[in-house]
Copies of this chain bind each other. A is one copy, B any other.
Amino acid sequence: MNGKATTTRTKLERGRSALGPALELVHTGRAPTRAVLTSELGVTRATAGAVAAELEALGLIRVDSSPGSAAGSQGRPSHRLSVLETGPVVLAAQVHADGFRAALVGLGGRIVATSPGCVAVMADPAQVLGEVVEAGAELLRASGLRCVGAGLAVPSAVAEPEGTALNPLHIAWPAGSPVRDIFAACVRRAGITGPAFTGNDVNLTALAEHRHGAGRGAQHLLCVATGHRGVGGALVLDGRLHSGSSGLALEVGHLTVNPEGRPCHCGGRGCLDVETDPLAFLTTARREPGPEESLLKQAGNLLRTEYGDPAVRQAAEALIDRLGLGLAGLVNILNPDRIILGGLHRDLLEADPERLRAVVADRSLWGRSGSVPILPCTLAHNSLVGAAELAWQPVLDDPLAALA
> Chain A residues in contact with chain B, CB under 8 A?
2, 5-9, 39-40, 42-43, 157, 159, 166, 219-220, 233, 237-238, 242-252, 254-256, 259-260, 266-270, 329-330, 332-337, 362-363, 365-366, 368-369
Partner of A248, one of B6, B9, B237, B369: B369
Per the bound structure, the CA–CA distance linking A44 and B229 in Å amounts to: 53
Tell me which residues across on chain B come within 8 A of A39, comparing CB atoms: 6
Q: Given that A238-B2, A329-B255 are contacting pairs, would A336 and B8 also be in contact in the complex, using a CB cutoff of 8 Å?
A: no
Copies in the complex: 2
B267–A363 CB distance below 8 A: yes
Tell me which residues across on chain B come within 8 A of A40, comparing CB atoms: 6
Partner of A365, one of B5, B254, B369: B254
Tell me which residues across on chain B come within 8 A of A249, comparing CB atoms: 333-335
B6–A42 CB distance below 8 A: yes
Q: Given that A363-B267, A369-B246 are contacting pairs, would A254 and B329 also be in contact in the complex, using a CB cutoff of 8 Å?
A: yes
Partner of A333, one of B7, B219, B251, B269: B251
A237–B246 CB distance below 8 A: no
Q: Determine how close the nearest CB of chain B comes to the CB of A254; give it in whole angstroms.
A: 6
Partner of A335, one of B248, B336, B368: B248
Q: Determine how close the nearest CB of chain B comes to the CB of A22; give it in whole angstroms.
A: 13
A248–B329 CB distance below 8 A: no
Per the bound structure, the CA–CA distance linking A250 and B242 in Å amounts to: 15
Q: Determine how close the nearest CB of chain B comes to the CB of A33; give it in whole angstroms.
A: 16
B6–A251 CB distance below 8 A: no
Q: Determine how close the nearest CB of chain B comes to the CB of A32; give it in whole angstroms.
A: 16
28 A-B pairs within 8 Å (CB atoms) are namely A2-B219, A6-B40, A7-B42, A8-B43, A159-B366, A166-B366, A219-B245, A220-B244, A220-B245, A233-B333, A244-B334, A244-B336, A245-B335, A245-B337, A246-B337, A246-B368, A246-B369, A248-B365, A248-B369, A250-B335, A251-B332, A251-B335, A252-B332, A254-B332, A254-B365, A259-B260, A259-B269, A259-B270
A365–B259 CB distance below 8 A: no
Q: Determine how close the nearest CB of chain B comes to the CB of A163; give it in whole angstroms.
A: 13
Max count, chain B CB within 10 A of own CB: residue among A43, A245, A250, A266:
A245
B2–A246 CB distance below 8 A: no
